Structure 1
């Protein structure tokens, strides 16, 4: 039986609220053709798979988001 997300204990160090993302203003990449969408909600940045909008979203603080963007731009995550 699946466990409700409201009954789960947060991960150690988890300090992010349970954001209501159903009304979020999701935005696609610059060309609108990407597989990732982001939304700015209550001071956090949410990221989801555009092809599966019902799947779980990743939630970032502004500091975490900046680190992700800076490292992605520098090629940190380049798998080729």
Structure 2
């Protein structure tokens, strides 16, 4: 996937981050979802296609990552 233009992205903090120090932000851009570290906004961005994002979130909700070492 080509890196989307994030200059006009509307970032929002994860609702699970509360006001803690470990936070992520997401932005929905056309057919992609971008994720970045709130503490290091210039440090890089992960970009997922929407179907990849849905699968990732589904795996988290189902506990599929609980047994990773």
Sort the TM-score into its range (normalised by shorter chain): 0.7 to 0.9
Q: Secondary structure at the match of 1:24?
A: coil
TM-score, length basis structure 2: 0.78
Higher-Rg structure is 1
Q: Which of the two has greater strand per residue?
A: 2
Q: Which runs of 5+ in 1 are unaligned?
A: 1-15
**How many residues were matched structurally?**
65
Alignment partner of 1:42 is 2:2: no
Q: Which of the two has greater helix per residue?
A: 2
Q: Which runs of 5+ in 2 are unaligned?
A: none
Corresponding residue number in structure 2 for 1:53 = 41
Correspondence list, 1:1-80, <5 A: 16-30=1-15, 32-33=18-19, 35-78=23-66
**CA offset digits 1:50-70 (Å, max 9, x no partner):** 111001111111110011000
Runs of 4+ in 1 over 6 A off after TM superposition: none
Asked which structure has the greater RCO (Cα within 8 Å, sep 6+), the reply is 2
